[in-house]
Amino acid sequence: MVKIIAEIGINHNGDINIAKKLIDLASVAGCDYVKFQKRTPELCVPEEQKNKVRETPWGKMTYLEYKERIEFGKDEYDEIALYAEKKGIKWFASVWDIKSTIFMSNYVDITKVPSALIVDKELLKTARHLSNTFLISTGMSEEKEIENAVEIGDPDVIFHTNSVYPSPVEDLNLNYITWLKEKYPQKEIGYSGHEYGLVSTFATAAMGVSWVERHITLDHAMWGSDHRSSLEPSGVFKLTKGIRELEKSFGEIGPRVCSEKEVEKRKSLRK
């Protein structure tokens, strides 16, 4: 079965109650995982961006203050761990720096390094060392960069993705999934989608990916950079229902055999 990841990311906006509602949504819809993003803002925000002032729902603040405002720490993740267990759904995070990787290893043994950071050799090595299941995404990368990341990090799952939010469908290049499957036959291949709609994501399940990831939100109109390219509640239910129905329809590779219902129909139509 395809493993379905509902990425909460930073769509909780620093509010643990929103995070819990998104966990509820993913659990009820039948997703296998929820995924957060974990950063150390002091390390991850570029120096030239740290003191830039921006308008936020919490008033004017610097970009560094904003990133710190929405970042979950130990108290929140302690609560998330308990809540996800209660709801019967697994969880983990994309990690953006080594400190965050070590932090998350106290909770989970599955980790993802996002597209933006697959050129960070030390992060790849640390995440691989601390993970039983290690995932990477390949967006915004050239082939040689992906080859290096696979060699250094030895991921269990390689995700095809386009890193534009939202991604134009004409830029998705889903055939790269076939390329990855043929190039890395010992690896699992996944798809992380940021496009509008679900048709192209369903297509990847038919192409043989074993993991699918989509961002989720309570409302596209919420504050934040990722909400517009995320699935609202109805979309999350359509995602899981569609993938599970596709799986039922695949059948087996081999000679054609009439189904039981076809045999009955044959009796009435074929002389």
pLDDT (0 to 100) of residue 225: 84
Q: Read off φ and ψ for residue 72, nearest 5 degrees.
A: -80, 145
Per the structure block, which two tokens stand in for 133? 């299941």
C-alpha–C-alpha distance, residues 28 and 202, integer Å: 20
C-alpha–C-alpha distance, residues 247 and 227, integer Å: 28
Residue-wise pLDDT tens for the chain (271 aa)? Answer: 999 999 999 999 999 999 999 999 999 999 999 999 999 999 999 999 999 999 999 999 999 999 999 999 999 999 999 999 999 999 999 999 999 999 999 999 999 999 999 999 999 999 999 999 999 999 999 999 999 999 999 999 999 999 999 999 999 999 999 999 999 999 999 999 999 999 999 999 999 999 999 999 999 999 888 898 999 999 999 999 999 999 999 988 999 999 899 999 988 888 7
Cα dihedral sign, 184-185-188-191: positive
pLDDT (0 to 100) of residue 235: 98
pLDDT (0 to 100) of residue 271: 72
**pLDDT tens-digit map of 166-209:** 999 999 999 999 999 999 999 999 999 999 999 999 999 999 99
**pLDDT tens-digit map of 251-267:** 889 999 998 999 999 88
Per the structure block, which two tokens stand in for 39? 């950063």
C-alpha–C-alpha distance, residues 202 and 47, integer Å: 40
**Contact of 84 with 5, CB cutoff 8 Å:** no
**Contact of 7 with 214, CB cutoff 8 Å:** yes
Write out the chain in H/E/C secondary structure.
Answer: CCEEEEEEECCCCCCHHHHHHHHHHHHHHCCCEEEEEECCHHHHCCHHHHCCEEEECCEEEEHHHHHHHHCCCHHHHHHHHHHHHHHCCEEEEEECCHHHHHHHCCCCCEEEECHHHCCCHHHHHHHHHCCCEEEEECCCCCHHHHHHHHHHHCCCEEEEECCCCCECHHHCCCHHHHHHHHHCCCCEEEEEECECCCHHHHHHHHCCCCEEEEEECCCCCCCCCCHHHCECHHHHHHHHHHHHHHHHHHCCCCCCCCCHHHHHHHHHHCC
User: Whole-prediction pTM value?
Assistant: 0.95
Q: Identify the structural domains of the chain with CATH numbers, from first to last.
A: 3-269 (3.20.20.70)
